[in-house]
Amino acid sequence: MKIVAVLYPGGPAAKDTPELLGCAENALGLREMVEGRGHELVAITDTGAGVDEHIPTVDVLIATPFWPAYITRERIEKAPNLRLLLTAGVGSDHFDLAAAAERNITVAEITGSNVVSVAEHVIMQILTLVRNYIPSYQEVLAGGWDIGKVAAKSHDLEDKTVGIIGMGRIGQRVAARLKPFDVHTYYFDSRRLSTAEEQVLGARFEHLDALIRRCDVVSINIPLTPATQGMFDRDLLYSMKRGAYLVNTARGRIIDTDALVEVMERGHLAGYAGDVWYPQPAPADHPWRNMPNHAMTPHVSGTSLEAQKRYADGIRDCLTNFFEGRPIDRD
C-alpha cells in the first residue's frame, strides 16, 4: 500500500530536534514501521501539485490542520485506491467529508491529542492581549522605556468577564485554567453542562448574544461546520463589548476576514489573538498580518512537541489497526 503524509517543512529544526515528529522530514516517526511491513511511505510538503501527483495511486493519506492539504471532492474522485484519510491532530475540515462518505472512505483524527496544548495557548493569548505584552516587548526591542505608553493599555485579568464559545474538551480545559485568575466565566454551547460540571469549572451558561455583549474577553473553541462558518460576521463582531478582546484557536473561517480587519482598524475591539487562518499557510499579504493590535501565531497552538508525540502515536495506532484489518478505535 502507498501511504502519503502531507506535513509541514521542518527545515534545520527537523534534524536538530528529532522530537519534531509532525514535519515531513521526520514523518511522524512512521517510516520504520510502515516500510517494515512492506508498504511505501511518501512524506511531502507540497499541498498542491505534490498531492495531485500522488492522488491516483494513494491508499492512505495523512494530513494535518497546521499545514492542511485540502482533499476536495475532485481529488477524491481521482483517487480510486483511497481507503483511509487520517488527520494528524484534531479537526478534519480540510477533507470533503461528504465525498469521503459517498466513497465509503474511513476518516479518522486523533481526538484529544492536543486539547491541553490548545487550552494553554488560549490562556497565553488572553494574557498577551490583556497585559498588552506585544507592545511591551516591541518597546524593549526598539531600545525604549516608555512605561506610560505601554501601561496605559495594560490590565489585570482578575475580575474580568470571560466568555467561552464551545465547552467541549478544549473549552472545559480553558475554563479550568481560568479559575485561579478569579474571573467571571460564562460559556455558550449547543449542549449545556450539568450543574455539577458548571460548579467544578466555575462557569455559567449564557446564550450567545448575551455572552457576546457581556464579556471583556471571548474565546472561540468550536469546530468549523457549515453552521459556524462565517459565524463571527460584521454584526456579531460589532455586538461585542467595545474594548473587548477576542481569541480564536478554532478555525479561521469562523470569522469574516474583512469584518475583523474593519473592527480592529476602527478600534472597536482592543485586541485579537488568533492561531488559525484561512487559507493556510496564510499568504504574506493576508490582511490579518498587518491589522492593529493583534497577537497572531501561525497555527502552532496544537503542535507543541508533546502534542506531536500524542498525535504521532495515534496515527501509528490507526495505521496498525488498518494494516491488520481491525477497526480503528472510536473515541
Active site residues: 114, 251, 280, 299
* Element housing 44 (H / E): strand 40-44
Residue where the block lists cell 497577537 = 295
Nearest to 259 by CA among 239, 277, 235, 240: 235
The Cα 168–Cα 277 span in angstroms is 21
The Cα 307–Cα 88 span in angstroms is 10
As beta bridge partners, residue 161 has 184
For residue 279, cis peptide bond before it (omega within 30 degrees of 0): yes
Q: In the chain, which residue ranges form alpha helices assigned H by DSSP? A: 12-16, 31-36, 49-54, 73-77, 97-102, 115-130, 133-141, 147-151, 169-178, 195-201, 208-214, 234-239, 257-265, 305-323
Helix pair angle (115-130, 305-323), 10° resolution: 150
| C-alpha cell, 160 | 474580568
The Cα 322–Cα 83 span in angstroms is 10
Q: What is the dihedral of CA 310, 313, 317, 322, to 10 degrees?
A: 100
The Cα 25–Cα 313 span in angstroms is 17
